[in-house]
Structure 1
Amino acid sequence: MNEALFSLQERINSGTAVVGIYGLGYVGLPLALRFCEVGVKVIGFDIDARKVDLLNSGHSYIERLTPQCIDKALTQGLEATTDFARTAEADALIICVPTPLNSHREPDLSFVINTVESILPHFRPGQLLSLESTTWPGTTDEVLAPRLANHGFIPGENCALVFSPEREDPGNTRYGTHDIPKVIGGMTPSCLELGQAIYRLAIRTLVPVSSTRTAEMTKLLENIHRSVNIGLVNEMKIVADKMGIDIHEVIRAAATKPFGFTPYQPGPGLGGHCIPIDPFYLTWKAKEYGINTRFIELAGEINHYMPHWVVQKTADALNDHGKAVKGSRILVLGLAYKKNIDDSRESPAVEIMELLHGKGALVDYADPHIPCFPKKRDYHFDLKSIELSPENIASYDCLVLATDHDSFDYEQLLNQARLVIDTRGRLPRQTNVVSA
């Protein structure tokens, strides 16, 4: 380990290392707060000036992170900025930006590349760069390392480069940032050693692996595992529905087997920043090796189809009640991609709204966690969340339960709604409830 990296190790050991976190969203901000919690000074970088201003004034834009959490972090040394020149002040630089798909369902690394390009003019010897954004195996050594080399930085010689995939699970009250084991792979043994040293300050358990590619593949396997199994149970739901069988009863019964079975729950489709997207990062990269990932792609097709299935079930149910979709007033319950959170990224509820709107329905939504419909690239609804009063519930021709928030009054819904399409198996079967 040369002098620059040895100096970095000393700063980490002495507790004087500064962490820079790039991207202050659902992944970056909780990580920033965790480092602050253990006494590490954090500079948070984001291109969204609104987020920066909110944080620096003690406000939060993520529901589960209270203003009290932000205030506490500010007193512990958190600073948010849009000024990437402050990169030079940090010792460990952690990238937590989105990695979406483009219109052709191919990886879009523009957020990662733009962040790295903004960092490089201010990068200095003895800094550690860690990528947490989910991506295809090879990104760290094929995309990041060459860009560092173009500026004279060689991982393991005068800087360190690691990949450590995020494992945030919004809404999970059992596991927080500090106690979710952290996988980490380095470009060299010294890179891995330094990466572990910085993360060990904030994370209870580290899982070192042999390379950045292994760490990148680990995250993909985790999410593909969920995607494939959810695809399976969604297909089983469609089959069971045609046979007049309650899939949720089937799952409950199967789950009594004490070995060899893990219950997965069907729903209206996949949502969130990982599971609907990450499998396609591997399918895209696998083609470079002449491999077609048919199993993974089939699961993706099934999950992508589910909002269409829900809309068809809604149309059939309305028809049975003497109504057409066109002109019907439909209220979608829950905009978030899963219950009890305020995150609507890739939410199937949004796709359901768009499909219903396209068929001429008059669509509203109710979600206590998302008071206003957020700005999105592909969807444009100028809507606010509807209050679930008895009068409002009764005024709609149909309610579609897309996200089963615990805060919904389900007894009231059952008593007041003319028709409910239940995509989550939350409601008992009765004359005004249709399972979808």
Structure 2
Amino acid sequence: MTENIPADSSEALLAAGLAARLADRSASIGVIGLGYVGLPLALVAVEAGFPVIGLDINPRRVEEIASGRQVIKYIPQARMQAALADGRFAATTDFARLADCDAIIICVPTPLTRQREPDLSFIVETARTIAHTLRPGQLVVLESTTWPGTTVEVVKPILEEGGLVSGRDFFLAFSPEREDPGNVSFSTATIPKVVGGDGAAAGKLAQALYRPLVTKVVPVSSTQVAEAAKLTENIFRSVNIALVNELKTVYGAMGIDVWEVLEAAATKPFGFMPFYPGPGLGGHCIPIDPFYLTWKAREFDIETRFIELAGQINTRMPYLVVDKLAEALDQKAGRGLAGARILVLGAAYKKNVDDVRESPALKLMELIDERGGLCEFHDPFVSALPPTRRHQRLSGKQSVALTAEALAGVDAVLVATDHDEVDYALVAAHARVLVDTRNAFARLGLAPAGLVKA
């Protein structure tokens, strides 16, 4: 059943045609950016019965996907191969194929500059690329997290440079990605999808695109509302994580275990939602997204002091952890951090994934190196550290095997990421000094003599 599109001459005909193709799933979907957001979305679209063209600027990435390799740890290789086997999925670096797509979904990175200002270069370049082949009747949806107004203030003018007009000749919408890599309870298809269009027709077409892909579509009145909703979700998490990180520091000074406090507080059935401290923020959202709003707010002469304070607290956490590590070495091993051999457990930004983007573990390694420590890491999901924009000198560093001999050969072990696939009993038995930022050992009932919570 097609969507009810407002009857308005050529717009109505174009919209009705696209709505019909979306309804019978003959519409071709192009997904730009085959990373942790784009690839899962492309697979869901294929599994829903749509023909899908996945596009990426990285030839090696495209080659690996086209060969059916497991490029993301939590996406089984069998699922990749099944998507390719039925002939509905193709991965390519040929962006001329965008002309063949009825709907184009943009899933490219939106990082920050070193000055913590939005870097929209990937969005801008992608929009320019789409503009080369944009044709009447196409739907373009931005999923990349950004400041409210980006879709209509940045993407729309670029797409309209060739003479086509949004809402008349093509349709433009925003639907924020909500991926949570490694989440066993929710996946791309089961997370509700917020959708806002540049006009009513675009909104309805975007809803028609996503309804076959996800269990629930949540329409909102505009692209700006959809953009703001995503920022609000992640700012909420950033602020609350900052709160418990600060509580950890305060309660620690009082000799109170913050983890026990949070466990007790979480028994209240209303009015409290548990968040947990850690060595800092990681991933592609929480360390970055709040600063998109603080930047945009300056345009309106508004200071986002609450958000910026949370960012300062979270950004400071790796420094406090390394201070705690140095203190633990001094008190339990009678030596300083300079020259000490340190094994960092976990390089990924969260447990049970292979994603190191913005991982606090990388900052911890750099800080240890800067203070004269000799740092190694072990991660069952990350065999070697990939090139990153901010931690280039760590690029290529190899994960070491976790053995009794390796543990005996270091002065301290620092738990940065609490992967399930780590033998914590082995670590507890052989680590001389053990600094745990994730409460991993207490959760398992382990209390090694050299344990310090940080």
TM-score, with length taken from structure 1: 0.99
Determine the structure 1 residue equivalent to 2:110.
99
- Contact 1:5/1:157 (8 A) holds in 2: no
**Is 1:307 equivalent to 2:318 in the alignment?**
yes
Alpha-carbon separation, structure 2, partners of 1:425 and 1:170: 21
User: May I ask how many residue pairs the two structures share in their alignment?
Assistant: 436
2:8 alignment counterpart = none
Provide structure 1 residue ranges, at least 5 long, that are not aligned to the other structure.
Answer: none
- What SS does structure 2 have at the residue aligned with 1:338? coil
Residue equivalent to 1:415: 429
* Deviation larger for 314-323 or 43-52: 314-323
Conserved? CA contact 2:429–2:448, under 8 Å:
no
Give the AA of the match of 1:225: F
SS in 2 for 1:296: helix
Are the counterparts in 2 of residues 337 and 345 from structure 1 also a CA contact under 8 Å? yes
2:390 matched to 1:378?
A: yes
**C-alpha distance in structure 1 between counterparts of 2:130 and 2:381, whole Å:** 34
2:298 aligns with 287
Q: Which amino acid aligns with 1:435?
A: K
Given the alignment, which residue of 24, 28, 33 partners 1:23? 33
CA distance in 1, matches of 2:269, 2:114: 43
Q: Paired residue for 1:335? A: 347
Q: Percent identity?
A: 53
SS of residue matched to 2:147? coil
Residues 1:267 and 2:278 aligned together: yes
Q: Which residue matches 1:431?
A: 449
Q: What RMSD over aligned residues (CA atoms) do the two structures have, in Å?
A: 0.9
Amino acid at match of 1:417: A
SS at 1:288 equivalent: helix
- What is the deviation of 1:431? 2.5
Alignment-derived partner of residue 114 in structure 1? 125
Residue of structure 2 aligned with 1:184, choices 195, 198, 201: 195
Q: Which amino acid in the other structure matches residue 32 of structure 1? A: A
State the match for 1:65 in structure 2: 75
In the TM superposition, residue 66 of structure 1 has moved relative to its aligned partner by 2.0
Task: Name the SS of the counterpart of 2:54 in structure 1.
Answer: strand
In 1, Cα distance between the equivalents of 2:358 and 2:64?
A: 25
| Letter of the structure 1 residue corresponding to residue 318 of structure 2 | P
Do residues 352 (structure 1) and 359 (structure 2) align?
no
For residues 163-191 of structure 1, what are the alpha-carbon distances to aligned partners after superposition, in whole Å with 9 as ceiling and x for unaligned?
00000001111111111000000010000
Q: Deviation per CA, 1:349-408: give whole Å up to 9, x if none.
A: 000000001111111000000011111122122321111111111111000000000111
Q: How does 1:32-51 map to 2 (within 5 A)?
A: 32-51=42-61
How far apart, in 2, do the equivalents of 1:106 and 1:163 lie?
21
Runs of 5+ unmatched residues, structure 2 = 1-10
Counterpart position of 2:94: 83
Find the counterpart in structure 2 of residue 155 from structure 1.
166
**123-132 or 371-380: bigger deviation:** 371-380
- Separation (CA, whole Å) in 2 of partners of 1:375 and 1:100: 15
Matching residue's letter, 2:406 = N
1:430 Cα deviation from its structure 2 partner: 4.2
CA distance in 2, matches of 1:383, 1:213: 41
Quick one: distance in 1 between partners of 2:247 and 2:316? 13
Matched residue type, 2:236: H
Q: Which amino acid is 1:252 matched to?
A: E
Which residue number in structure 2 is paired with residue 203 of structure 1?
A: 214
Q: Tell whether 2:239 aligns with 1:225.
A: no
Q: Is the 8 A contact 2:348 2:382 kept in 1?
A: yes
Q: Distance in 2 between the 1:178 and 1:152 partners?
A: 36
Structure 2: distance between partners of 1:269 and 1:105 = 17
- The residue type equivalent to 2:283 in the other structure is G
TM-superposed CA distance for 1:259, in Å, is 0.9
Distance 2:28 2:214 in 1: 16
Equivalent position amino acid for 2:183 in 1: N
Partner SS, residue 427 of structure 1:
helix
2:128–2:159 CA contact under 8 A, matched in 1? no
1:367 to 370, 379, 383: 379
Instruction: Check if 1:7 corresponds to 2:21.
Output: no
Deviation at 1:195, TM superposition (A): 0.4
Deviation string, structure 1 residues 223-275 (Cα, Å, up to 9, x no partner): 00000000000000000111111000000011111110111000000000000
Q: CA deviation at 1:5?
A: 2.4
CA contact (8 A) 2:130 2:159 kept: no
Give the secondary-structure state (helix, strand or coil) at the position aligned to 2:342: strand
Instruction: Give the conservation status (yes or no) of the 8 Å contact 1:2–1:158.
Output: no
